[in-house]
Structure 1
Amino acid sequence: MDQLVSEYASTSEDSDDQTALKRSNQSKTSTQITKRSKIDLAPEVSLEDQRLSNAFYTKPTDTEIAFNIPYEDLSRPVNGPSNPFSTRVMNQNVLTGHVEEQVYSEIAFKTQQRTFASFGYARDPTLLDNVASGSAEFVGNVEKAIAMNGATIYDPTPKKSGPARLPKGDSAVLEGENAYKGPWTGYHGESIGTPVGPPEGAIRTQAEPVQNLKKQVEVGQETTVFHGQSEFDYQGRTYMHVPLDLDVNLLSEPGSQECFIPKRCIHTWSGHTKGVSAIRLFPNSAHLLLSCSLDSKIKIWDVYHDRRCLRTYIGHNKAVRDVCFSNDGRRFLSASYDKYIKLWDTETGQCIKAFTTGKLPYVVKFNPDEDKQPIFLAGCSDKKIVQFDINTGEVTQEYDQHLGAVNTITFVDENRRFVTTSDDKTLRAWEFDIPVVIKYIAEPHMHSMPAVTLHPNKKWLACQSLDNQIVVYGAKDRFRLHRKKRFTGHLVAGYACQVNFSPDGRFIMSGDSEGNMCYWDWKTCKLLKYLSVTIRNGVFAVDLAE
């Protein structure tokens, strides 16, 4: 017991030592607390009540604001010294400055835009309050805007003051100075009934030299010029004979030989003084080339030997628009702006017969059937397709359904039908000798198609559309648009550039308004070649060999 008491009891010395130890620990703790830095977790706040302030201040770097601030406070300058290296404009919300949205309807904008294009002035769109009140300021020709009272294209414009009208007279007086004229009275300064123009003697003197200089080719006065040394060779053959001394067989089946994309221009035929409107190769052999021009002349050229002009046919008074060979090439038709269609002998140059309806013929086409060679069709400017009989010279049928001038005639379906295109942007199919349309195609997206060519397999029609593309239609019963066949990459808007195929049907080609030639692959519709050729008043030839 005494031991336990002695263990737990403390003497005065021990208590003094413990007290000294506690004091030393407290002194150490107090010294450590005084060395720590002060940490304040509360943010600094302004003592000024913002609700009692006249303005709200924001930082330039703020991206969100929890309360509405007037625009005047947002546009206040930044307090403090300015940054000399900063290039930012005050209140800039785009790279070039500050942009504000204006509430302006589309119809109002279109109205002011068309008004400015027509009259030269428009209302200022930035002054919305003035526009609503009707006292808006104008941009553009302000004087004209004031004179027209700010009228738009939809408002009635002030009428111009015209000449004063003569008095109607007294209704009780029938004759004399004050006779009643009623609604037939005229205006001051009119010269109705007074002859105008040069005196009669001057008219006669001016008309005489014009009559002397007037030289027109009348029907029956057609001429021809042969441009060679002799019309016959040593065997008595003319240029109509198909040459046999070439590396290619010209009388072989079309498409039996492989065709290639041309690489270069090998020859240019020049002789026309104006633009060439159409060219046609000689049927079956293609050893001759027939061309018609705006200089009212027709020329036939050699293709393979000397490549020179063989004969010129002179018989039209105005530009020749189209020519067409017969099946054997012995004869051809020519359509001119002098309203005549003439039948020529290819070998002798003699004009056999002339046909006319009094209208401009735009296209002529022989019926390809052998038993119907004396019949041809002509598309005219009076929206009609006229069928002529060469033997009698009379019109045997008229096809009248188009709403514009007829541009092309293409025979399809073993020549039992033909397809026509017109300036009315439609495509129509007809049964031959029956003036009833069997197929009518007119879509809102269609453009005029001034050139149409039949594919060698007789199944498709390639149409040159004036929206810079070639579209393809079926040549069978339905005449549907082939939407997957579309050839683009050339410019033909406003020009009737002809379309053609290679004899094997692998390639399709077209001219360009810039004088270029474009070649596409028929299957893939890929543009293969863009041949740049600059030709003026001539015909050029390209090398189709590999």
Structure 2
Amino acid sequence: MSSLVAYEDSASDSDDEISKRTFDGRETSTLSASSVSTNTEPEVGASCQVSPPSHVHYTTSKQDLNPDTPGCLLEKQMRNATPLTLPHAQVHAKRHLPPRPYVPKRQRQVPVESGEPSDHPVLIHRREEKPILSEVSPTVKQCLSQKNPAASGVPRRLLMSLAGHQGPVNTVKWCPVPHLSHLLLSASMDKTCKVWDAAESGRCLRLYTCHSEAVRAACWSTHGTHLITGSFDKSAALTDVETGESQPLVKLDAQFRVMCVATHPSQPEVFLCGGHSPVVKAWDTRNAKVVREYRAAVQQTLDLLFLRGGSEFISSTDCVSRDSADRTLIAWDYSTTARISNQIYQERYTCPSLALHPVEDSFVAQTNGNYMALFSCQRPYRMNKRRRYEGHKVEGYAVQCSFSSDGTLLASGSSSGSAHVFDFSSSQMVHTLRAHSQPCVSVSLHPVLPTAAATCDWAGEIKVWV
């Protein structure tokens, strides 16, 4: 191999020692770094020796490179020389890196793009989502620890506003499990469902995108670990609260637009769904099959309500004739699919929502006559004509109502945007919340906190009151 540096006392180099090449139209000489000494400190009276990087080849013109030039001057020439770029395979040797440990998907690192290349890119860790079913809100925990729970009170002031939905919110429901009751479920026309921490931080804990069209109905399972949703995409879904953000456990083809869902109180694996169809279907989520069908001469089902024990349920339909409201409310036997009664409600108004009293054997039906009617849960399910909860407006919206945990209060939304609270025993309105500017379609009273309530409106806003 030829020598890189010519010394003053060396003999004249041969043509083989300095090879001539042409680069950019100039006659050049290629310097090989393999024969350069690694000493960097020159001895007294000796020539300077240079150790350029082994992977860089320098080019200089022939007139600039003189074999008789002293070593120190040659070093300066090499510093000012132009690096000659060679193919990557000839320059770099294969680098042997240690094996990388396996990183779970949720903790995987994402490289950040930078304007300059770097062997050590900046990395950012994705935020790891904490489990939401293992934590207990301090506010809820304090109420659960009391020996004598406080009586239900009237919500009067705004605690927080929850913004995040891009469409009307159809329903809001607190988790029925006491120690998880700080979780609030919302379903929206923007095709999503959300679970919020509505007692402490007001953060959205989970976003569920299981449907391709508007989510019309949603409810919690009996144990609070799953969600049941119904959508205009003609499907119903069973979703795990912790892990089912985009993929439900079971997705069922209902073959009609689902308007309402209801969980069986004693069989958590069974739920009902109804909608734009004369058929109400009972699904078993263990095998994703229809176990029962309930047929009636109606066009659609507006709401479903299991009575205490689950042996019977009530369906609300849109069937209203000119002279009577036959089949507006229908009582069914769950086991035999037999129709028990369809002469429960005789007035010519449809009932967009139903609510079961938590203590007494009675339920209420929200009517488009701008009042709520009270019915008995015992056959023949007679309507109480002495009690009527009125003073709010429905005007064709699917306004929902709910009871407090002890059954002393009844709350309802209104098409005017207000939320109204009634005394159940006297049927008198005790308070009105100026909640929203758009129609307030759902009010949910908290099952543990005595004065807490959640409301939602047609503009996509959710508010929590205490």
**TM score, norm. by length of structure 1:** 0.54
SS in 2 for 1:332: strand
SS in 2 for 1:260: coil
* Percent of pairs with identical residues: 26
| Aligned CA distance change for structure 1 residues 542 and 256 (closer, same or farther; 3 Å) | same
Q: 1:267-308: per-residue Cα shift (whole Å, max 9, x none)?
A: 111100110011121122211011110000111100222111
Query: Among 443, 446, 455, which residue is 2:348 paired with?
Result: 446
| Aligned CA distance change for structure 1 residues 229 and 411 (closer, same or farther; 3 Å) | same
How far apart are the structure 2 equivalents of 1:355 and 1:338?
11
Name the counterpart of 1:269: 162
Output aligned runs, 1:98-497, within 5 Å.
Answer: 229-232=127-130, 238-243=131-136, 245-246=138-139, 249=142, 251=144, 256-285=149-178, 286-349=181-244, 350-369=247-266, 372-425=267-320, 426-441=328-343, 444-497=346-399
How far apart are the structure 2 equivalents of 1:249 and 1:483?
41
Output aligned runs, 1:58-73, within 5 Å.
Answer: none
Shift of the alpha carbon at 1:252?
Answer: 6.8
Where does the alignment leave 5 or more consecutive residues of structure 1 unmatched? 1-223, 233-237
SS in 1 for 2:162: strand
How far apart are the structure 2 equivalents of 1:433 and 1:415?
9
Shift of the alpha carbon at 1:404?
Answer: 2.7
How far apart are the structure 1 equivalents of 2:152 and 2:400?
19
Shift of the alpha carbon at 1:358?
Answer: 1.5
| Aligned CA distance change for structure 1 residues 336 and 473 (closer, same or farther; 3 Å) | same
AA aligned opposite 2:416: E
Contact 2:329 2:345 in 1 (8 A): no
| Aligned CA distance change for structure 1 residues 512 and 252 (closer, same or farther; 3 Å) | farther
Name the counterpart of 1:537: 460
AA aligned opposite 2:368: L
SS in 2 for 1:355: strand
AA aligned opposite 1:540: K
AA aligned opposite 1:267: M
Q: Extract structure 1 runs of 4+ deviating beyond 6 A.
A: 252-255
Mean Cα deviation higher: 455-464 or 293-302: 455-464
Shift of the alpha carbon at 1:338?
Answer: 0.6
Where does the alignment leave 5 or more consecutive residues of structure 2 unmatched? 1-105, 107-125, 321-327, 437-456
| Aligned CA distance change for structure 1 residues 247 and 474 (closer, same or farther; 3 Å) | closer
How far apart are the structure 1 equivalents of 2:275 and 2:128?
39
Mean Cα deviation higher: 278-287 or 241-250: 241-250
Q: 1:69-106: per-residue Cα shift (whole Å, max 9, x none)?
A: xxxxxxxxxxxxxxxxxxxxxxxxxxxxxxxxxxxxxx
SS in 2 for 1:470: strand
AA aligned opposite 2:193: I
SS in 1 for 2:160: strand
SS in 2 for 1:388: strand
AA aligned opposite 1:482: N
SS in 2 for 1:267: strand
Larger strand fraction of residues: 2
Shift of the alpha carbon at 1:459?
Answer: 1.1
| Aligned CA distance change for structure 1 residues 275 and 297 (closer, same or farther; 3 Å) | same
How far apart are the structure 1 equivalents of 2:414 and 2:274?
25
Query: Among 423, 427, 431, which residue is 1:525 paired with?
Result: 427
Shift of the alpha carbon at 1:257?
Answer: 2.6
| Aligned CA distance change for structure 1 residues 439 and 413 (closer, same or farther; 3 Å) | farther
AA aligned opposite 1:466: N
Name the counterpart of 1:22: none
How far apart are the structure 2 equivalents of 1:485 and 1:494?
22
The RMSD of aligned alpha carbons is: 2.1
AA aligned opposite 1:313: Y
AA aligned opposite 2:265: P
Contact 2:189 2:213 in 1 (8 A): yes
Name the counterpart of 1:166: none
Contact 1:255 1:503 in 2 (8 A): no
Shift of the alpha carbon at 1:521?
Answer: 0.9
Contact 1:257 1:504 in 2 (8 A): no
Contact 1:429 1:440 in 2 (8 A): yes
Shift of the alpha carbon at 1:508?
Answer: 0.7
Would you say how many aligned residue pairs link Structure 1 and Structure 2?
Answer: 310
Shift of the alpha carbon at 1:248?
Answer: 5.1
Contact 1:251 1:284 in 2 (8 A): no
Contact 2:229 2:261 in 1 (8 A): yes
Q: 1:141-174: per-residue Cα shift (whole Å, max 9, x none)?
A: xxxxxxxxxxxxxxxxxxxxxxxxxxxxxxxxxx
AA aligned opposite 2:282: Q
AA aligned opposite 2:175: F
Contact 2:400 2:413 in 1 (8 A): yes
How far apart are the structure 2 equivalents of 1:247 and 1:428?
38
AA aligned opposite 1:539: I
How far apart are the structure 2 equivalents of 1:527 and 1:450?
21
Name the counterpart of 1:89: none
How far apart are the structure 1 equivalents of 2:287 and 2:414?
41
